[in-house]
């Protein structure tokens, strides 16, 4: 069977010649929590105390935002991260974006999305959701979307580096390990397997 990784150790290779750029390609797993938990709290505060939406509207839009993230997670992983370009430049970009994670799956500094990627994406989806929902109803939806992203990042780190005992989370870990070591063309859901069932890519 073809070896699908370079090293299973907590190690990696250098991606960029520039020390300055290289810094932005590595990140401690806790950084997204420090960056985005305050953002979630702000938008929930805005929803409750400024926009004064009902608990039903808040809960519904928050859950909808989390569901939207789960779909986005699946499609980003399947069609962007696992896109196989033909040009040499495209192959290099693909390796930088996601290929390095499959080559060094247990590199603890490249398991969560660095702010250099997550912040521009967050800004884009902020303005997109304001355009779709309007500023009043966008707040709880965006809080849910960002919460979904945090669940994804934390789950991704946990399945690679935590001693998981819960049966449900062990199943998620098993799915992700199969994605890495057996069938990289399936099992694109990281935080949950729902859309793999829907789109028939379950491992």
Give 15-28 pLDDT, tens digit per residue.
999 999 999 999 99
What are the CA-CA distances from residue 155 to residues 84, 158, 163, 187 (Å)?
A: 25, 5, 12, 14
CA-based angle 28:46:125, to the nearest 5? 55
Structure token digits, residue 16:
């960029």
Q: Quick one: pLDDT at residue 1?
A: 45
Low-confidence ranges of the chain (pLDDT < 70): 1-2
- Give the chain's domain count: 1
Residue 201 lies in a domain: no
Residue 1 lies in a domain: no
Q: What is the pTM (predicted TM-score) of this model?
A: 0.94
Residue 160 CA to residue 170 CA, distance in Å, equals 11
Domain span at 118: 28-163
**Length, in residues, of the chain:** 203
Residue 189 lies in a domain: no
Residue 10 lies in a domain: no
Q: Quick one: pLDDT at residue 13?
A: 87
Residue 63 lies in a domain: yes
- Of residues 175, 181, 169, the one with CA closest to residue 74: 175
Residue 188 lies in a domain: no
Residue 197 lies in a domain: no
Mean confidence (pLDDT) of the chain: 94
Residue 176 lies in a domain: no
């Amino acid at each position: 069977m073809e070896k699908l990784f370079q090293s299973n150790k907590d190690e990696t290779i250098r991606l960029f010649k520039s020390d300055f750029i290289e810094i932005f390609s590595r990140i401690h797993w806790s950084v997204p929590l420090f960056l985005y938990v305050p953002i979630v709290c702000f938008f929930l505060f805005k929803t409750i105390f400024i926009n004064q939406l009902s608990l039903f509207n808040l809960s519904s839009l928050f859950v909808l935002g989390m569901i939207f993230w789960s779909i986005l997670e699946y499609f980003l992983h399947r069609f962007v991260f696992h896109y196989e370009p033909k040009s040499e430049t495209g192959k290099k970009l693909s390796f930088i974006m996601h290929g390095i994670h499959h080559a060094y799956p247990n590199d603890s500094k490249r398991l969560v999305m660095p702010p250099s990627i997550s912040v521009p994406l967050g800004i884009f989806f902020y303005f997109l959701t304001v355009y779709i929902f309007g500023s009043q109803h966008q707040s709880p939806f965006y809080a849910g979307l960002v919460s979904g992203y945090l669940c994804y990042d934390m789950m991704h780190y946990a399945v690679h580096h935590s001693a998981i005992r819960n049966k449900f989370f062990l199943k998620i870990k098993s799915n992700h390990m199969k994605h890495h070591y057996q069938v990289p063309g399936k099992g694109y859901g990281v935080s949950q397997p729902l859309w793999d069932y829907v789109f028939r890519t379950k491992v």
